[in-house]
């Protein structure tokens, strides 16, 4: 997620929960704090999840059995609440998860050789490939989903104002 995603909707009355989940070798509270500083927005609450509690709960919501969800972006309808151990299904969601082999091939093409961090990835991702977005495609998908979400909020608001 980028600060520009928040900047695209400066007046929007939404809340974001950003959970930093330790996956890579150098992930820690310090890297989570640095990322939170870049994404600073009053509408966001930031959490650090070194034990993968939120990531495992999201995995259950997606129907995954083997993996921790991370690099996932979820949109919920106004009024949605998380009760119990599994969050409600999102209205829209995207992820940036790939199989280890795909990451290694991508990195080899972009950087010349795979980096050591891919060793920490599962061999195969359970993530739905239809929901996969990365880089500019992810930013565009988040902005589009945000616009749809805001339109839905306006419709709910205007219909509740009617007598």
**For 69-101, how does the pLDDT look when each residue is reduced to its tens digit (9 = 90+)?**
888 888 888 788 888 888 888 888 888 876 555
Range from 35-39, 40-44, 119-123, 157-161 carrying the lowest mean pLDDT: 157-161
**In this predicted structure, what is the pLDDT of residue 163?**
39
Angle among Cα 107, 36, 92 to the nearest 5 degrees reads 70
86-117 burial code (b ≥16 CB/10 A, e <16): ebeebebbbbbbbbbebbbeeeeeeeeebeee
pLDDT value of position 162? 40
- Residue 98, pLDDT score: 67
Return the biggest CA–CA distance within the chain: 63
Q: Mean pLDDT score of the chain, rounded to an integer?
A: 77
What residue ranges do the domains of the chain occupy? 3-161
Q: Which of 38, 44, 35, 36 is nearest to 17 (CA)?
A: 44
Residue 132 has pLDDT above 80, yes or no: yes
Q: Kindly state the average pLDDT of the residues 144-149.
A: 83
Whole-number pLDDT of residue 161: 44
Dihedrals φ, ψ of 24, to 5°? Answer: -80, 160
Specify the pLDDT at position 9: 75
- Report the percent of the chain where pLDDT is more than 90: 10
CA 26 to chain centre: 19
| Residue 143 binned pLDDT confidence (cut-offs 50, 70, 90) | confident
Class of residue 29 by CB neighbours under 10 A (exposed 0-12, middle 13-18, buried 19+): exposed
| pTM more than 0.85 | no
* Encoded tokens for 69: 């969800």
* Higher pLDDT, residue 123 or 142: 142
């Amino acid at each position: 997620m980028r600060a520009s995603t928040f900047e695209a909707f400066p007046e929007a009355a939404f809340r974001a929960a950003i959970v930093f989940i330790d996956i890579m070798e150098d992930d820690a509270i310090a890297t989570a704090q640095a990322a939170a500083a870049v994404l600073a927005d009053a509408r966001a609450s930031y959490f650090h999840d070194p034990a993968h509690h939120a990531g495992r709960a999201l995995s259950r919501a997606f129907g995954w059995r083997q993996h921790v969800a991370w690099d996932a972006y979820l949109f919920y309808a106004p009024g949605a609440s998380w009760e119990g151990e599994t969050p409600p299904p999102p209205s829209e969601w995207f992820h940036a998860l790939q199989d280890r082999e795909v990451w290694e091939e991508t990195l080899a093409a972009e950087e010349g050789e795979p980096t050591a961090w891919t060793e920490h990835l599962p061999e195969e991702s359970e993530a739905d490939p239809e929901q996969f977005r990365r880089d500019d495609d992810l930013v565009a998908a988040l902005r589009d989903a945000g616009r749809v979400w805001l339109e839905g909020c306006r419709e709910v608001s205007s219909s509740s104002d009617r007598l």
